[in-house]
Structure 1
Amino acid sequence: MSSALQEASHLWSILDDLSQNEPAAYRQFIDKQMKEGAEFRAPPELDSCLCTEILEPKKGPLYINICSWKRMPAPQDPSMPVPMCAGKLETDSNEGQGYSVLDVAVNPAVLQGSKKDKTEIYLLALSFAQQQNGMRLSQQYTVVSGCPKSSLDDVHRRLGFRQWLDTSRQPDTGASSFIASQNPAALLQQISSLRSEKQYEDPAAQIISRPAEQKNKGLIQVISTTFVQPQKPEYQLEMKTDTTGVARSMELTVDLPKVSSMSECQLTISEDDVLLEVEDVYYLFLEFPKTVIEDSACAIFNKKTHRLILRVDIF
């Protein structure tokens, strides 16, 4: 049996023993896990947005969304690094002006602790963006109301919240499913802490678990993510006109080189927009410039060219 399975087996054995012999401590542990489970599944929230300039390798404006996310761990004390994670760097344009956007997430406690002055967090975010994406940024920035053409759904997508949430869902959404997904050694440490409060009653009731790993010194702790970021595919949206020059339909062409079958694609269309998803591979959301007749939509996938063509009539 592997060490991980041994730890898990040991954990469930301890929980069984705890429920029978110390029901109050068991209830306290379960309540704590249920609360942490709900917080762990909470989505990232947008706190503020910075606008700065990319100096290298290619100049242009960069918007950095500073997000609070309960899934991110908080530093144990002010001297420890600030855990951060970032979404995928994307480029877009607004009124002909190109720009880039990046989302950076930290624990809400980090932002609450610097409510009056977030300068340090902002500078750390700039440094983090440089490290993660191999670019040089201006240290001058402006706090703006938000990134052009970017919604909270876009932030969630770039940070991978939807993919992570889908893969973390289980039929049992209570405390047991959340406990099962946690680090056994860390949970054993929590149970040990509960029991240590009663050691004066029963000195033999102790659980010895492996000590936490020593954290490296530094200002930023990079949090790696387990989900795969989908990318925005290359696409072209064209208006199709009749012989009199009146627009009658629209044609969306999307290049999907990593897709081999239409069955891999999830296509959702309304009269206002279209959403194309290929799990963990591609994500494309577009608003139509004109209202369309969604029932007229017809999609064809060419396996040879790996190209999806969607045609839809206009009202």
Structure 2
Amino acid sequence: MSSAGRTEDVLQQVNQFWSMLDDLSQNDPAGYHKFIEEQMKKGAEICSPPELHSCIKTPILEPTPGLLYINICSWKSVPAPRDDSSSLPVCTGKLETGTTEAQGWFVVLDVALNPAVLQKNKDKDINYVYKLALNFAQQHHGMQLSQEFSVVRCSPNGSPDQFKCRLGFQKQHYTFKPTQTVSQTPHSLLQQLSSQQSGKQEENPTAQIICRPAERPKKNLIQVISATSVEPQKPEYQLEVKTNTEGVLRSLELTVELPKVRTVSECQLRVSKEDVLLEVADVYHLLLELPVTVNEDTASAVFNKKKQRLVLTVDVL
């Protein structure tokens, strides 16, 4: 069938639908009013924000020792699996790192699932969900984790606004007055909803959740859903270990080409004794193990705006 033919079929179905609503609005105003309210209620549920269900903590063994916190979230925007044999749709947020005086370096990962999945496993074994989340962190983010984990009250940087932001949720506003429903025709209602949708897309062109392929644990148990449409890439870099005149190691210099970066404020840089982590949200991700042990306290970085190049220098221990 040609493209024009398919378009005509779709338009015919749409016209039939609106004709049915026209008849309903005229012959049964109360029924029409109820139908529209139900559809708006369903739309509001789909646009509801993610909610924290529970949080687990486990030690990170490699590449950098620390603690991993995984926020398990309930989110109606994440589709439920079709059946028990299907892969499990999961939406994950951006990794966030930080340090505390008491526990040192940590990583926070947000994992959102459909509420039906969490409810189904609530009575059986919620550890099944926890283990899937841990397997995902190991497979997708290259972490080696301890086999032991504990359930904790909350993670660092675990406020509702913070994990909503990491998952890509933005509050969407809809205006709908039930008192206007009966007097509106389906055509005018369509224009109203279309204008709201258009305005929402202009404010947030990447708010829609988009499915993308991803690495999965064994048996394809997890289907990854990303809140962003761009996967960070590994930038080009050059690593040089410098010595003095006697051949003794003195410093290490890392040069990273960042052609898509305009200001240093876009970069997040972390230096430890064994590795370097450079992130530019949705653009670049570089985790580099260093060939020598360095003194992170001596690290200094300079970003050249003209060449769009970052140069990191740090002394060797």
TM-score class, shorter-chain normalisation, is: 0.5 to 0.7
Matching residue within 41, 44, 49 for 2:50: 44
Alignment of 1:181-200 (within 5 A): none
CA contact (8 A) 1:92 1:99 kept: yes
CA contact (8 A) 2:91 2:113 kept: yes
Match of residue 90 from structure 1: 96
- Classify 1:127/1:303 alpha carbon distance in 2 versus 1 (closer, same or farther; 3 Å): closer
Cα deviation for residue 42 of structure 1 reads 0.9
CA deviations 1:31-68 (Å, max 9, x no partner) are: 44312210121111111100012233222210000000
Gaps of 5+ in 1: 182-216, 231-255, 266-278, 282-301, 307-315
Matching residue within 153, 158, 173 for 2:166: 158
Match of residue 140 from structure 1: 148
Give the paired residue count: 213
Alignment of 1:256-267 (within 5 A): none
Alignment of 1:27-38 (within 5 A): 30-38=36-44
Alignment of 1:68-217 (within 5 A): 68-95=74-101, 97-116=104-123, 117-162=125-170, 165=171, 176-177=193-194
SS in 2 for 1:124: helix
Q: Given residue 118 of structure 1, which amino acid in structure 2 is its aligned partner? A: I
State the distance in 1 between where 2:167 and 2:159 align.
13
CA contact (8 A) 1:126 1:139 kept: no
Match of residue 53 from structure 1: 59
Deviates more, 1:63-72 or 1:23-32: 23-32
Gaps of 5+ in 2: 178-188, 199-218, 233-257, 267-280, 284-303, 309-317
State the distance in 2 between where 1:83 and 1:29 align.
30
SS in 2 for 1:18: helix
State the distance in 2 between where 1:29 and 1:80 align.
32
- Classify 1:2/1:137 alpha carbon distance in 2 versus 1 (closer, same or farther; 3 Å): farther
Q: Given residue 143 of structure 2, which amino acid in structure 1 is its aligned partner? A: M
Match of residue 223 from structure 2: 221
SS in 2 for 1:221: strand
> Considering only aligned residues, what root-mean-square deviation do their CA atoms show, in Å?
4.4
Cα deviation for residue 81 of structure 1 reads 2.3
TM-score, normalised on structure 2? Answer: 0.53
- Classify 1:3/1:149 alpha carbon distance in 2 versus 1 (closer, same or farther; 3 Å): farther
State the distance in 2 between where 1:29 and 1:144 align.
43
- Classify 1:130/1:4 alpha carbon distance in 2 versus 1 (closer, same or farther; 3 Å): farther
Q: Given residue 225 of structure 2, which amino acid in structure 1 is its aligned partner? A: I
State the distance in 2 between where 1:13 and 1:85 align.
36
State the distance in 2 between where 1:154 and 1:4 align.
44
Identical aligned residues as a percent: 48
- Classify 1:148/1:107 alpha carbon distance in 2 versus 1 (closer, same or farther; 3 Å): same
CA contact (8 A) 2:168 2:228 kept: no
State the distance in 1 between where 2:127 and 2:195 align.
36
TM-score, normalised on structure 1? Answer: 0.53
Cα deviation for residue 145 of structure 1 reads 0.8
CA contact (8 A) 1:67 1:105 kept: yes
CA deviations 1:268-294 (Å, max 9, x no partner) are: xxxxxxxxxxx988xxxxxxxxxxxxx
SS in 2 for 1:52: strand
- Classify 1:66/1:304 alpha carbon distance in 2 versus 1 (closer, same or farther; 3 Å): same
State the distance in 2 between where 1:142 and 1:3 align.
58
State the distance in 2 between where 1:9 and 1:52 align.
54
Cα deviation for residue 130 of structure 1 reads 2.2
